[in-house]
Amino acid sequence: MSKLTLGSYPHMLGFEQLERLLERTAKGGNEGYPPFNIEQTSDFSYRITLAVAGFAEDDLSITVEDKQLVVRGRQSEDIAERVFLHRGIAARQFQRSFVLADGVEVGEATMENGLLHVDLTRSKPETIVQTIQIKKG
């Protein structure tokens, strides 16, 4: 059985980069932590909310790398001095990646009650009609 790719469809021209993004996302290390929500806040805006209890703003980084929004968390090492009788709150590092479509821009990020909110906006696509002249050969 052969693997179907976007290149297998003759009417799908120029989508090779999309296929690479999908493969990279499928292999990504998003293991379910931290949990997150994605909501549509208007026709052209979204909000990603990650549950990052126990992380301070300085423990988090948000970057855009090759059309991916990457959120990383690493808590400081001051925990070594503390003695836990029970440890039920995760203190592990994480990396969450979200693929961004063309025209999606990352806005502001805010921290509120252990939740990290990242706002995204998508530019309204222009309708372009182009007429191609046919030359006699």
Q: Which domain holds residue 23?
A: 1-29
For residue 135, being part of any structural domain is answered with no
- CA dist 111 and 72 (Å) reads 14
Number of domains in the chain: 2
Sign of CA dihedral 110, 111, 116, 117: negative
Give yes or no: residues 24 and 50 share one domain. no
Give yes or no: residues 21 and 41 share one domain. no
For residue 136, being part of any structural domain is answered with no
Give yes or no: residues 12 and 50 share one domain. no
Q: Which residue has the tokens 């996302």?
A: 25
For residue 61, being part of any structural domain is answered with yes
Q: Give yes or no for a contact between 51 and 118, defined as CB atoms under 8 angstroms apart.
A: no
Give yes or no: residues 11 and 74 share one domain. no
* Mean pLDDT over the full length of the chain: 85
Give yes or no: residues 48 and 101 share one domain. yes
50, exposed or middle or buried, with CB in 10 Å at 0-12, 13-18, 19+? buried
Give yes or no: residues 50 and 110 share one domain. yes
- pTM of this prediction exceeds 0.85: no
Give yes or no: residues 36 and 82 share one domain. yes
Give 76-115 pLDDT, tens digit per residue.
Answer: 766 667 788 998 876 789 999 998 988 999 999 999 999 9
For residue 105, being part of any structural domain is answered with yes
Give yes or no: residues 41 and 104 share one domain. yes
75, exposed or middle or buried, with CB in 10 Å at 0-12, 13-18, 19+? middle
- CA dist 92 and 102 (Å) reads 32
Give yes or no: residues 8 and 75 share one domain. no
Helix (H, G, I), strand (E, B) or coil at 83: coil
Task: Output the CA–CA distances (angstroms, integers) from residue 22 to 28, 68, 120, 130, in the order listed.
Answer: 10, 11, 20, 30
Give yes or no: residues 90 and 44 share one domain. yes
Tell me, what CATH number does 51's domain have? Answer: 2.60.40.790
Give 42-73 pLDDT, tens digit per residue.
Answer: 999 999 999 998 899 999 999 999 888 999 99
